[in-house]
Amino acid sequence: MNMSNFLKTIFLALVIVAAFFVPVAAVVPVDVITLPASDKSGGMPLMRALNERKSLRAFTDEAISQQDLSNLLWAAFGINRADGRRTAPTARNSQQVRIYAAMANGVWLYDAAKHALYKVLERDVTQSFHAPLTLVYAVADDKYGPMHAGAVFQNVGLYCASAGLGNVVKAQGVNVLTNDELKLPADYAVVIVQSVGRPR
Ligand SMILES: Cc1cc2nc3c(=O)[nH]c(=O)nc-3n(C[C@H](O)[C@H](O)[C@H](O)COP(=O)(O)O)c2cc1C
């Protein structure tokens, strides 16, 4: 094969490969959100945030910004020490709390180590929760599980108070998503949800 035919062959091979991959890439959904760095220096003084903390049940449709989402998830159960320990305590540092974020673009699992969200479900369930963001808390099914969820949702409640966001924790709503949809380990269960949004 002379040089010209060789180059033609290479070009043709590249066109065939591109024709195969480009349309596939175009339809592959985004399934990872790398969150921006959380702002760990801002917010209102703790005593004022405690004074502002309350349940609120009516939200606008406005999506929560990625910065608020980042701050909120870090406040919830992010890593705050070099050894990987978290903003909320867990018995024997088991860290057995899974936080799912249900938003219009699907349901996402928070990975604290990567400070990222991984899509587990394509479905928009925001109408079922009447909020643009609902955190779904799944914990290991033992006597400490609900305590762990409580520590985390209080962190979120205080962040919301500080950031001017509304929130409510609800025992109702724990069945909106099934264990299969959340790809939960066998010994985990959803114990509470927490809706967040701009006050209406
Ligand atoms: C474990 C738990 C479960 C709750 N479940 C619901 C619920 O299913 N629906 C709801 O509207 N509020 C629910 N709430 C919110 C409470 O009604 C609310 O915290 C209480 O009325 C006190 O109001 P405050 O949070 O503004 O102080 C729940 C709160 C907790 C701690």
Distance from the first to the final alpha carbon of the chain: 72
Query: What's residue 13's pLDDT?
Result: 63
How far apart CA 85 and CA 107 sit, in angstroms, is: 25
Please enumerate in sequence order all residues whose Cβ is within 8 A of that of 105, keeping only pairs 6 or more positions apart, or say none.
Answer: 124
Kindly state the average pLDDT of the residues 167-193.
Answer: 97
In degrees, rounded to 5, the angle at the alpha carbon of residue 9 between the alpha carbons of residues 8 and 14 is 95
- Residue 169 Cβ inside 6 Å of ligand 1? The answer reads yes
Query: What's residue 124's pLDDT?
Result: 97
Q: Which residue's CA is the nearest one to ligand 1's atom 9?
A: 170
Lowest mean pLDDT among 12-21, 61-70, 99-108: 12-21
Q: What is the pLDDT of residues 15-56, one digit of tens each?
A: 555 555 544 444 555 799 999 999 999 899 999 999 999 999
Query: What's residue 23's pLDDT?
Result: 46
Q: What is the pLDDT of residues 109-160, one digit of tens each?
A: 999 999 999 999 999 999 999 999 999 999 999 999 999 999 999 999 999 9
How far apart CA 99 and CA 49 sit, in angstroms, is: 23
Q: Which numbered atom of ligand 1 lies nearest the CA of 173?
A: 8
Q: Which numbered atom of ligand 1 lies nearest the CA of 157?
A: 25
pLDDT beyond 80 at 200:
yes
- Residue 171 Cβ inside 6 Å of ligand 1? The answer reads yes
Q: Which of 89, 172, 183, 85 is nearest to 138 (CA)?
A: 183
How far apart CA 64 and CA 147 sit, in angstroms, is: 27
Q: What is the pTM of this model?
A: 0.87
Query: What's residue 30's pLDDT?
Result: 78
Q: Torsion angle, CA of 48/51/53/57, rounded to 10 degrees? A: -120
Q: How many helices (H) and strands (E) does the chain have?
A: 6, 7
